[in-house]
Amino acid sequence: MKVLIVDDEPLARARLKRLLSQFTQYRCVGEAENLSDALACCAKTEPDVLLLDIEMAGGSGLTLASQLMQQALPPAIIFVTAHPQHALDAYQVSPADYILKPVSAERLGQALARVGMATKAHLERRHSAAPLINYQLGTVSRQIPLSEVRYFVADSKYVRMVFLHGEALLEDSLAQLEQKYPQWLLRIHRGILINKHHFSALRTLPDGRHVIELDGISTPLEISRRAYPKLKAALQLG
């Protein structure tokens, strides 16, 4: 399973990485020293577990955990901190565990064992419940779970399906996709449908235009004026 270490102290990150190397079923896929770096790493590596400090320069790990918990498939959070007084606040974001520094290999092993099978089962349930989208890659027919698709955009006579590591053309129209998968898809523009389970943030630009950010996608997507009120209501953003 993939683990991301988030701590603003290099020595603390190095210690966690060294301890983690004792558990062969877990692999450190990155390190981050602040919230913005951590969000970028999460989008890039899609970790299963975060080893997350709470008090960091540049922002609290509690803020990061709250943001990640809004994702369709958030990573498991193990808080690793020197401050026991944060325990009550930390449990408001449903962490898998709360470890006090200095961390021992035994205590880390207990926390990882607690989240390991649950996270794996959660992933498997999510993918098994998602409908499959058929597409053609050259002469080869392929399938991808809808849970992995970020958005669909009208592209000439076809619809372009964008997922984390690529894209493909479909013959289904946006209207057909919207009708087939109403629990998954939201229209943000006449030519764009998003997978609402990958919603990350809604922003207003200085010129008044609204854009939406999806996890794993670096470029925000513009929302039409007509779609904006319906989108906010569908995402329960008030």
Structure-token pair, residue 32 = 């981050």
In the chain, where does the domain assigned CATH 3.40.50.2300 lie? 2-128
Where in the chain are all domains bearing CATH 2.40.50.1020? 132-234
Name the token pair of 102: 């200095």
Per-residue pLDDT of the chain (238 residues; tens, 9 = 90+): 889 999 999 999 999 999 999 998 889 999 999 999 999 999 888 888 999 999 998 889 999 998 888 776 688 899 999 988 888 788 878 788 899 999 999 999 999 887 754 454 455 555 556 789 999 887 788 889 998 899 999 988 899 999 987 899 998 999 999 999 998 999 999 999 999 888 888 889 999 999 999 888 889 999 999 999 999 888 766 5
Based on C-alpha coordinates, what's the Rg of the chain? Answer: 20
CATH class, 2-128 region: alpha beta
E strand or H helix at 44, and its extent?
helix 35-45
pTM above 0.75, yes or no: no
Would you state the structure tokens that stand for residue 230, as one six-digit string?
A: 């319906």
The predicted pLDDT at position 2 comes to 87
**Which CATH number describes the domain made up of 132-234?**
2.40.50.1020
* Letter string b/e over residues 11-21, b meaning 16 or more CB atoms within 10 A of that residue's CB: ebbebbeebbe
Q: Which of 198, 189, 156, 193 shows the shortest CA–CA distance to 176?
A: 193
- The per-residue DSSP string of 148-203 comes to GEEEEEEETTEEEEEETTEEEEESS-HHHHHHH-TTTEEEEETTEEEEGGGEEEEE
- How far is Cα 189 from Cα 212, in angstroms, rounded to an integer? 11
